[in-house]
Amino acid sequence: MSNEAASPDGWQPEQYARYRSEREQPFYDLMSLVTPRPGGRVVDLGCGTGVLTRVLHEHTQAAETIGVDRSAAMMQEWASHAGGGVRFERGDIAEFSMSGIDVVFANASIQWVDDHADLFPRLVESLAPGGQLAVQMPANEDHPSHATAGRVARQAPHAEALNGFVYRHAVEAPEWYAEQLARLGFAEQHVRVQVYLHRLPGPEDVVEWVKGSLLTGYRKRISGQEYEAFLRDYREQLLSVLPEERPFLYSFKRILLWGRMG
C-alpha cells in the first residue's frame, strides 16, 4: 500500500510498520508484566495486523486469544496470524463487552477511545476472577510532534476542512490510572511512565513517525488534497521548532499499566 492509498479509517499498516522495532519495544515491556495464564482466555484490544497477538498468545499460553480491531486495513493480515487458538473479530473497543476473560491487553490502542472513566469499568466487567488488565498508551502530548498537529488543525484552511476537529488525547495522568485501578478492585497493580528514546536519522523522520500514528486521526477526516496541505504545514512548523540534530533524539513518553483483580 502506498502513502497515497490510505484506508478509509486512516490506518496504513506499512507506514505504521516503518519504525517497527521502536514501536514493538513497549509491547514487549507491557507483555512482560502479564503472568502467563495456561488454558485461559485473552483479548487483545486494538490488535492491528495481529502479528503481536500471536506473540501474546504464546506468552500467556492461553487456550484462546481474540484480537479485536475496527480497521479494515489492519485486518488484511489476520488470516496469516489466525489459528492454533488465535482468532480475530472486527469491533469497536468503545463497545467492547465480554465476560470471563483472564487477560485484557491493549497496546497503543485505547488512546483512541474517549472517556476512560467510562471505559475502564467496562474492561473490568469483562475480567474473570483473578483476571489481569494490561494497557500501554502514549503520553507525549506535550512534545512538539503532538502539540504542532493540534496547532495546525486550528489554523486556516485546516480548521474548516476538519470541521473544527482537533484530536483530543483521551489519556489521563498516570496517577489517575493508579487510583482508578484501586477503586475498581485490583488487588495488585503496577503503573509507570517510561521514556523511550528513539534515535531517528534526522528531525524530518519525526514527521514519518507521526504519519503512521497520530496523523491518521486527521487523515481519515479530510480529502487527500486537504491532507497533503495539512502535512505540508505540519512539516514546516514542526521542523522550525525541532533542533537540527543528527541522529535526532525523539523522546517518547508512554504509560504502562497492569493490574490483577482480587
Ligand X SMILES: C[S@@+](CC[C@H](N)C(=O)[O-])C[C@H]1O[C@@H](n2cnc3c(N)ncnc32)[C@H](O)[C@@H]1O
Binding site for ligand X (CB under 6 A): 11, 27, 46-48, 52, 69-71, 74, 92-94, 107-109, 112-113, 213
C-alpha cell belonging to residue 170: 483521551
Of 23 and 41, the one with the shorter C-beta distance to ligand X is 23
The single-letter DSSP state of residue 157 is T
Of 74 and 206, the one with the shorter C-beta distance to ligand X is 74
- CB of 24: closest distance to ligand X in angstroms? 7
The single-letter DSSP state of residue 35 is P
- CB of 90: closest distance to ligand X in angstroms? 8
Of 94 and 159, the one with the shorter C-beta distance to ligand X is 94
Q: How far is CA 102 from the centre of its chain?
A: 21
Helix, strand or coil for residue 64?
Answer: strand
Of 17 and 239, the one with the shorter C-beta distance to ligand X is 17
Distances in whole angstroms, Cα of residue 134 to Cα of each of 188, 197, 202:
12, 22, 33
Of 107 and 148, the one with the shorter C-beta distance to ligand X is 107
C-alpha cell belonging to residue 183: 477503586
- CB of 206: closest distance to ligand X in angstroms? 16
- CB of 214: closest distance to ligand X in angstroms? 10
- CB of 212: closest distance to ligand X in angstroms? 8
CB-neighbour burial class of residue 251 (10 A; exposed 0-12, middle 13-18, buried 19+): exposed
End-to-end CA distance of the chain: 46
Count CB atoms within 10 A of the CB of residue 138: 19
